[in-house]
Amino acid sequence: MHDIRAIRKDPAEFDKHLQRRGENAMSHIILATDEVRRAKILSAETAQAEQNKAAAEIGKAKAHGDHARFEELRSVVANKKEETAREQREAKKLDQELTHMLACIPNLPANDVPDGRDETDNVEIRRWGTPPEFDFEPLEHYQIAGVANFMDFETAAKISGSRFVMLTGAIARIHRALAQFMLDTHINKNKLLEVNPPVLVRDEAMYGTDKLPKFGDDSYTTTNGWWLVPTAEVPLTYIPADSILDEEDLPLRFTAHTNCFRSEAGAAGKDTTGMLRQHQFEKVEMVSVTSVAESEAEQQRMLRCAEDLMEQLRLPYRTVILCTADLGFGARRTYDIEAWLPGQNAYREISSISTTGDFQARRMNARYRPEKGGKPQFVHTLNGSGLAVGRSLIAVLEIGQKSDGSVRLPDVLQPYLGGMNTLNSDGKLIFI
């Protein structure tokens, strides 16, 4: 949500950054609505004051036996009461229109976000690791012999339809091991607080985390009005909603491993094979709630937390900063971590680390009291994948594949796999 006072103060600056995202200038429409709304509020307040003044004089007229003046004042009170109610209704309607307008406008990009027309204008920051060279044609994850019989798309489609998968046997165990490894690292090394949140949330939580009203079609809702979370960002970020925190208690740092649900309404025809893009998938999420001063450093810390997981898993990756055209609706700045997938001969997103500034906090009224005093300020909220579990599974399988259909697994997963380090071509976990 945008601050109407900031738009009033510098509409040209607001429009400049909005246009960087490829959006039309909006300040003139916003301010026109705001001006009429404020005029209605003033009109209601004026009518209320005149009503109160007339009401106070009624008693005097009655005491002096001035019947004509008494009736005149009664008429004034009735008319002003009606006028006040009418102006208040119109002001409330305009306030709702303005709020909806502001809620549908994306966040403004940070100054250091590169301008761009599409994802090809994202800027690479760094790379880690070297993509492996194979003496055979590397396969995609679902084609590998040790994987194929345990990554079942046909049964999942029979049960649920397209874009679902059923993992069984060792593949299900490796998937679970990845999630456990990520959680343990975040809890023990990165000092995040583990949360097991609801994955059914109310409208308020989706709205407060900028998923409504604009992206309702991208998520699933139940018949009684709950939403299935598109990411654990929603319940984790909404924890401090409608509260005032003490700055000394910040930052709040959360992590959660949940199922996520997305309709993929805008992704028709994309990544239809394999498990890269699913309606249901698992992710280990990171969320931070910070003061304004800590926000920038916190995004870099979160980015390193995610990159460290990639390095422990020995997965070659590159980190990019998204350009204005590829930036998510609520983000001021986003870094993507892209894993090298030999089967696709390409880097593909495995984590996004975003800062929203106070964009979400304004929507959900989350504030903090500065240690040095002064009025409460809106917190800053940040979120990131640490990591997408299914996509990490894809990368692990494709990076570790061997010509015989087996897969060498990352050493850090051994404690979670009973000491085993290899998936053989029959889909069994063994130690070599």
Angstrom distance (rounded) from CA 136 to CA 141? 15
257: enclosing H helix or E strand:
strand 252-261
Residue 268 phi, psi dihedral angles, 5° rounding: -60, 130
- Single out the catalytic residue among 20, 262, 314, 363: 262
Do 286 and 383 form a contact (C-beta atoms < 8 A)? Answer: yes
Count CB neighbours of 141 within 10 A. 26
Angstrom distance (rounded) from CA 211 to CA 213? 6
Strand partners, 401: 407
| 391 is annotated as an active-site residue | yes
106: enclosing H helix or E strand:
none
| 117 is annotated as an active-site residue | no
Those residues whose C-beta lies under 8 Å from the C-beta of residue 408, and which sit 6 or more positions away, are 400, 402, 421, 422, 432
The encoded tokens of residue 128 equal: 């880690």
- Single out the catalytic residue among 352, 385, 392, 406: 352
Length of the chain as a residue count = 432
- Single out the catalytic residue among 45, 57, 311, 349: 349
| 333 is annotated as an active-site residue | no
- Single out the catalytic residue among 301, 391, 392, 406: 391
| 5 is annotated as an active-site residue | no
SS3 assignment, position 333: strand
The residues that are catalytic are 262, 277, 349, 352, 391
